[in-house]
């Protein structure tokens, strides 16, 4: 269990703490299995749900899900819950030799478990109908739901080309001064954006160095293993007290090699992975920031268009045009749309403020656990190595004294 999972399992509000008297929703992602061959190969997972929520079909349900099902859930939530920071998914490995390694599969399983439990424990997201579908629907239903998606990546190549051309044209207009981008000027919002972008940089830098620490531990472990084998062969060729000392030195090196490899794995799971997870979490927040910017622009554009419609309606009324009724209808429709856009933007702002506070509290807890695990692991490794070599020194000293005598 990594540090993020410990956070989930240790929280008083955790979905993993079922109680007969309290509502609970407990989800576990387990038993990854490789299915198919070649480029068609993928990993399936057993998703086990236990709950006493009345809207669920049964108190316990087990379904089989694949990575694309988790992507479907993430995308649906992002589309429907504007202003809420949707938990991030682990990235998809494009390198074939890593995709199905035992370590990669376990890291992904843990990350998917954290992902779905964050949703299950969220005060808004746990009520999602899409989450209930994800946790209860049969595999055939999920496959049909995935195939019905109409997001940008489901569009035809010609449609995608048109989207990219439109974006390119929009950017060109801004750069050439033909169109000024409409942006918020709220100082608190600017401060929050600056913090998020800075946090992403700092987390990414920390994660990069954590990766190097893992790599260094593994390389040192491998070097000790190779050294141990070589020294044991050297000891075998001596066949006396010195040979025995060499053999013991080789065995000690191999034991320490195993310790280093185990600690490297712990460092990966309990330190590097949580840092990487928070890099992804910040990217999810940036996606919500982009949605807020879109909502603000939409609100401003509709407000401006509404003013023009009002002016036009006043002119038509003044000249008693026969188009007044049509203009009034258009004005009322646009006004309703404008009010809805304003409401949407204000809701996003409110939710983002709440989410930011929740994110800060959770980050403090998760990062505290991750760095505590890191410090404990390093201390454990250092003590283990020191004790191992310390216990071996008398034997080397004894061997040296024999040579002197």
In DSSP terms, 61 is beta-bridged to 49
Mean pLDDT of the 24-30 span = 94
Tell me how far CA of residue 73 lies from CA of 153, 267, 394, in angstroms: 15, 30, 61
Is the distance from CB of 83 to CB of 355 less than 8 angstroms?
yes
Residue 172 predicted with pLDDT over 60: no
Is the distance from CB of 74 to CB of 282 less than 8 angstroms?
no
Backbone angles phi, psi at 47, to 5 degrees: -110, 115
pLDDT in tens, 273-320: 999 999 999 999 999 999 999 999 999 999 999 999 999 999 988 888
Residue 58 predicted with pLDDT over 70: yes
In DSSP terms, 65 is beta-bridged to 45
* pTM (2 d.p.): 0.81
Residue 17 predicted with pLDDT over 80: no
Residue whose C-alpha is closest to residue 257's, from 208, 311, 294, 221: 221
- What is the chain's mean pLDDT, rounded? 85
Report pLDDT for 13.
40
pLDDT in tens, 195-222: 999 999 999 999 999 999 999 999 999 9
Higher-confidence position of 320 and 332: 332
Q: Rounded to whole angstroms, how far apart are CA atoms 215 and 265?
A: 10
Q: Rounded to whole angstroms, how far apart are CA atoms 97 and 107?
A: 15
The confidence band for 74, taking pLDDT boundaries of 50, 70 and 90, is: very high
Residue 93 predicted with pLDDT over 80: no
Report pLDDT for 241.
78
CATH topology of domain 25-139: PX Domain (3.30.1520)
Residue 94 predicted with pLDDT over 70: no
Report pLDDT for 319.
85
CATH level 2 (architecture), domain 157-170+180-401:
Up-down Bundle (1.20)
Domain spans of the chain, in order of start: 25-139, 157-170+180-401
């Amino acid at each position: 269990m990594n540090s993020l999972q410990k956070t989930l399992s240790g929280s008083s509000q955790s979905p993993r703490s079922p109680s007969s008297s309290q509502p609970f929703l407990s989800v576990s992602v387990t038993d990854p299995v490789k299915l198919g061959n070649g480029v068609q190969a993928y990993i399936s997972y057993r998703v086990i749900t236990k709950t006493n929520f009345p809207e669920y079909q049964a108190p316990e349900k087990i379904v089989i899900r694949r990575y694309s099902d988790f992507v479907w859930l993430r995308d649906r939530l992002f589309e429907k819950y504007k202003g809420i920071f949707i938990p991030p998914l682990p990235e998809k490995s494009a390198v074939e030799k890593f995709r199905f390694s035992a370590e990669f599969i376990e890291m992904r399983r843990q990350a998917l478990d954290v992902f779905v439990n964050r949703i299950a424990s969220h005060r808004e997201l746990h009520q999602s109908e899409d989450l209930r579908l994800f946790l209860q629907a049969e595999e055939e239903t999920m496959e049909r739901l995935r195939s019905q998606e109409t997001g940008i990546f489901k569009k035809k190549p010609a449609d995608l080309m048109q989207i990219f051309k439109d974006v390119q044209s929009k950017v060109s207009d801004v750069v050439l001064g033909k169109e000024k981008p409409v942006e918020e000027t709220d100082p608190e919002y600017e401060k929050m954006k600056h913090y998020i972008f800075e946090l992403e940089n700092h987390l990414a830098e920390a994660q990069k160095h954590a990766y190097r620490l893992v790599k260094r531990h593994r390389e040192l472990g491998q070097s000790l293993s190779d050294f141990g084998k070589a020294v044991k062969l050297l000891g075998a060729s001596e066949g006396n007290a010195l040979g025995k000392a060499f053999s013991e030195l080789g065995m000690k090196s191999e034991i320490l090699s195993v310790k280093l490899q185990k600690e490297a794995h712990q460092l990966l799971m309990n330190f590097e992975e949580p840092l990487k997870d928070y890099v992804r979490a910040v990217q999810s927040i940036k996606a919500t920031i982009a949605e807020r910017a879109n909502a603000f622009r939409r609100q401003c554009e509709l407000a401006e268009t509404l003013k023009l419609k009002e002016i036009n309606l006043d002119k038509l009324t003044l000249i008693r045009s026969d188009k007044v009724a049509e203009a009034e209808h258009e004005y009322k429709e646009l006004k309703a749309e404008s009010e809805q856009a304003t409401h949407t933007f204000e809701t996003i702002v409110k939710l983002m403020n709440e989410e930011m506070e929740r994110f800060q509290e959770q980050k403090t807890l998760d990062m505290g656990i991750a760095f505590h695990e890191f410090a404990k692991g390093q201390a454990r490794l250092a003590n283990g190595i020191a004790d191992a070599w310390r216990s071996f020194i008398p034997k080397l000293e004894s061997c040296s004294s024999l040579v002197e005598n």
